[in-house]
Amino acid sequence: MKMDDIARLAGVSKAAVSLAFSGKPGIGAETRERIIQIAKEHGYQPKTRSTASDQQTDSITFLVFANSGIVLEQYYQQPFFRELIHYIEERCRANGYSLIFTSVDMANFQHGIRTIAQEKRTDGVILLGTNLDKAHLEQVSQQLDAPLVVLDTCFEMLPIPFIQINNIMGGYQAGAHLCGFGHREVGYIASDIRIRNFEDRRIGFMQALRDNGVALAEDSVFAVAPTILSSQEALKRQLSAFLDKGHSLPTAFFCECDYIAISAIKSLTELGYRVPEDISVVGFDNIQEGLIVSPELTTVHVEKERMAHLAVDMIIEAIETDTISFSKILVDTHFVERLSTRSID
């Protein structure tokens, strides 16, 4: 008789069986009693941790490799990551785990991995993969001797559990919204630092334009820093140069993230344009700052709470059952229409 068999007989997951035996929260009292009773009836004896281990607090590490591009050294102050961390902390606490924060400078990538692997001070690792490529993720997974779940990116060919935004869907929703509002002259404001998320958002957006018979002119694509919430001189220079060539600005812009969208609204305002009366602006991520900017930002909502819960639940299941599920979970987005877009008269 194994834990799998108890789970099957009780009609629950292996993680629920483990929670029942450990006495941790996360399942109801009736479910816990049913699992324990079935175990007794079949003579199953759960494995127990050593005394030294029992005296330790179960912990999960939130691992970040910071750089000067997307994931900054003070990543916990960046709105998107701040919200994500909040939900991860809540979920860990609800399940009796403490959350340890570990940040490594990308310039010391190799040394950072070795140090974390040698310390062995955590039961599992949730890795923020936003700014990491396939090679980075392979190295991390090969050297860490603990269950691992990667959050906010995905490489389908790697045998690693991933929780990822459906960025293609979100980009498509943004494009469909603008086309549905009658916009035919559409512009695109990209990040000047490229990651998988942004590439997928562009794929979805471009597909929406094609499906609606709208073309994106090459010279209507601009690029700016993705982590600045104020107006950007770089964007104002690009837009001014575009105007100097005799062009008219597009009637709408899709921005690859809310940071860029908020920055674009401020930059356009300083150039004398009104949002949305003259130009509509759509962002992506639905950070709280989008409700503060004027006008309130139309954006693509990312289910940050759902992603956080999935990541924590997956890593706890791996810890409690001593098995790893190599699932890749894609979390859908939904569109939030606010005041920064309007239809063409």
Q: Are residues 123 and 144 both part of a single domain?
A: yes
Least confident of 7-16, 132-141, 303-312: 7-16
Whether residue 230 has pLDDT greater than 70: yes
- Predicted confidence at residue 24, as pLDDT, reads 62
Whether residue 244 has pLDDT greater than 60: yes
Q: Are residues 175 and 134 both part of a single domain?
A: no
pTM over 0.85: no
Whether residue 15 has pLDDT greater than 80: no
Q: Which residues contact 109 (CB under 8 A, 6 or more apart)?
A: 65, 136, 139
- Predicted confidence at residue 49, as pLDDT, reads 44
Give the C-alpha separation, 1 to 41, whole Å. 11
With 0-12 / 13-18 / 19 or more C-beta atoms within 10 angstroms meaning exposed / middle / buried, residue 205 is: buried
Whether residue 21 has pLDDT greater than 90: no
Q: Are residues 283 and 179 both part of a single domain?
A: yes
CA angle 280, 236, 278 (to 5 degrees): 25
Q: Are residues 91 and 106 both part of a single domain?
A: yes
pLDDT tens sequence across 318-336: 998 888 778 999 999 999 9
Q: Are residues 127 and 173 both part of a single domain?
A: no
Give the C-alpha separation, 153 to 231, whole Å. 28
- Predicted confidence at residue 55, as pLDDT, reads 40
| pLDDT band (50, 70, 90) for residue 47 | low
pLDDT tens sequence across 83-124: 999 999 999 999 999 999 998 989 888 888 888 888 777 889
| pLDDT band (50, 70, 90) for residue 305 | very high
| pLDDT band (50, 70, 90) for residue 73 | confident
Whether residue 45 has pLDDT greater than 90: no
- Domain assignment present for residue 130? The answer is yes
- Predicted confidence at residue 192, as pLDDT, reads 96
Q: Extract the tokens encoding 138.
A: 């392979």
Q: Are residues 95 and 39 both part of a single domain?
A: no
Q: What is the mean pLDDT of residues 77-81?
A: 93
Alpha helix locations (H) across the chain?
A: 3-10, 14-22, 29-41, 51-54, 79-94, 109-119, 134-143, 167-180, 196-211, 233-244, 258-270, 304-321
Buried/exposed 83-95: b ≥16 CB within 10 Å, e otherwise: bbbebbbebbeeb
- Domain assignment present for residue 19? The answer is yes
Q: What is the mean pLDDT of residues 67-71?
A: 84
pLDDT tens sequence across 115-153: 888 877 788 999 999 999 999 999 999 998 889 999 999
Q: What is the mean pLDDT of the chain?
A: 90
Residue 22 sits in a domain whose CATH number is 1.10.260.40
Q: Are residues 328 and 290 both part of a single domain?
A: no
Phi and psi dihedrals of 63, rounded to 5? Answer: -105, 130
Domain housing 15: 3-52
| pLDDT band (50, 70, 90) for residue 26 | low
Total structural domains within the chain:
3
Give the C-alpha separation, 171 to 38, whole Å. 49
pLDDT tens sequence across 172-199: 999 999 999 999 999 999 999 999 999 9
| pLDDT band (50, 70, 90) for residue 40 | confident
The CA distances from residue 243 to 220, 238, 273, in Å, are: 11, 9, 13
Whether residue 52 has pLDDT greater than 50: no
Q: Which residues contact 104 (CB under 8 A, 6 or more apart)?
A: 63, 64, 65, 66, 112, 113, 116
Q: Are residues 320 and 278 both part of a single domain?
A: no
Q: Are residues 95 and 79 both part of a single domain?
A: yes
The answer to whether 164 and 152 have CB atoms below 8 angstroms apart is: yes
